[in-house]
Amino acid sequence: MALRNIAIIAHVDHGKTTLVDAMFRQSGLFRDNEAVAERAMDSNDLERERGITILAKCTSVTWNDSRINIIDTPGHADFGGEVERILSMVDGVVLLVDAAEGPMPQTRFVTGKALALGLQPIVVINKVDRPDERADEVLDEVFDLFVTLGASDEQLDFQTLYASGRSGWARRNKDDAGDTLAPLFETILDYVSEPEAALRDPDGTQPFSMLVSLLARDSYVGRIVTGRIETGTLAENMPIHALRADGSIVETGKATKIFAFEGLERVPVSEAKAGDIVAIAGLETATVADTIATPKVTTALPALPIDPPTLAMTFRVNDGPLAGREGDKLTSRILRDRLLREAEGNVAIKITETDEKDAFDVAGRGELQLGVLIETLRREGFELVISRPRVLMQQGDDGSTLEPIETVIVDVDEAYSGVVVEKLSAR
């Protein structure tokens, strides 16, 4: 069975998760009479409420005897740690752009990382059934964006599709007929190459190795690490070990369970080969950016650098007079364990203990990421006192102080531009 690994990247609310829902339905993943929640990929309550993708998720669909692993990536720069790791697992990207809004700031952020990795883009201009669509202008804007980001000539010769994710159709030309996503599936199979790992080692004769890109925990099998197999074949109960970037051994164990992805579920399999994206249970300490391999492999795979945090806040337990009115997790020990668990699977979050025994510094990529963490903790029953966000400075190679810089694009009527500039200058 042919295999393709792709990521879908888009700005917040450009219809990415809705398009994936349509791909699920048309690939035969769901029964005709099966009740499926809208935006099925947004499995987190906060994702459904905010209408954005926060957690990267793997899934898979089968089309004409070919399996397509699809990874739904976060569309906001604050979750850049997730985006970078995901892009290291795929061989092509589907760039989704709103037919009215065009490329937006987060489109630029994620696309820049994809192009820098040499991934071949497929551009899908979504929501072309909107009355205010301007698909032709948006296509020109996408091309200009690619040029600005330093795309190669091959990347600039991208395939374009016009789609309506909500209605479930894609077309190669805007005026074509058709009411299915078949052109999208066919374009993915035709223009995204097979995984390089599978081409390098088609028979799986090399020793098994895999770079961990995602981390999860299951109440039955424990810690689950997810990544793309780079070399060899992985079989159930095979002896494995985890390596840090410097080649030091983290732990040894067995691959007690191997899971492939089928739709929204993890499905147990007995073995997996190079190029496939799988989840493995059986290790307790291995984390993101570690290499999982057979014991004979002693050199770690190169891991992508992750952008450092830019903001930090101090979290501490609620010790005020109204403590205990709403939550039931009120001790610093429970808060510390929960924050460290968050940092295990989210490499963009850094936890540091402070001189105060009940306070912890939590650093992240931005206010949205930290805000999502705070709301998640609140819903889990934690009562917190938090400080104002503060900017984190970095030290340059020459000892100079480096400050994070963000580019802000504000689209307002000319009459209000002066007020906007004034407010931004005050910050």
* pLDDT of the residue at 35: 47
* pLDDT of the residue at 395: 83
For β-strands 390-391 and 311-317, DSSP reports them as antiparallel
For β-strands 265-269 and 239-243, DSSP reports them as unpaired
* pLDDT of the residue at 40: 46
C-alpha–C-alpha distance, residues 152 and 255, integer Å: 40
- SS3 per residue for the chain: CEEEEEEEEECCCCCHHHHHHHHHHHCCCCCCCCCCCCCCCCCCHHHHHHCCCCCCEEEEEEECCEEEEEEECCCCHHHHHHHHHHHCCCCEEEEEEECCCCCCHHHHHHHHHHHHCCCEEEEEEECCCCCCCCHHHHHHHHHHHHHHCCCCHHHHCCEEEEEECCCCEEECCCCCCCCCCHHHHHHHHHHCCCCHHHHHCCCCCCCCEEEEEEEEEECCCEEEEEEEEEECEEECCCEEEEECCCCCEEEEEECCEEEEEECCEEEEECEEECCCEEEEECCCCCCCCCEEECCCCCCCCCCCCCCCCCEEEEEEECCCCCCCCCCCECCHHHHHHHHHHHHHHCCCCEEEECCCCCEEEEEECCHHHHHHHHHHHHHCCECEEECCCEECCEECCCCCEECCCCCCCCCCCHHHHHHHHHHHHHC
User: Which domains are present in the chain?
Assistant: 2-194 (3.40.50.300), 201-293 (2.40.30.10), 311-402 (3.30.70.870)
CA 23 to chain centre: 18
Q: Are 92 and 216 in contact (CB under 8 A)?
A: no
> Both ends of the chain: CA-CA distance in Å?
55
* pLDDT of the residue at 107: 74
pLDDT tens-place values along the chain, 427 residues long: 789 999 888 776 777 778 888 888 888 765 554 545 444 454 566 665 665 666 667 888 888 889 999 887 775 666 655 677 778 889 999 999 999 998 886 677 778 888 988 999 999 999 999 899 999 999 999 999 999 999 999 999 999 999 998 899 999 998 888 889 999 999 999 999 888 877 777 777 889 999 998 887 777 888 889 999 999 999 999 999 999 888 899 999 999 999 998 877 889 999 998 899 999 999 988 888 889 999 999 999 988 766 778 899 999 888 777 777 787 887 888 989 989 888 876 777 889 988 887 899 999 888 888 888 899 898 989 888 899 999 988 888 888 888 888 777 677 788 888 999 898 888 6
Q: Are 161 and 95 in contact (CB under 8 A)?
A: no
Q: For residue 220, which amino acid is it?
A: Y
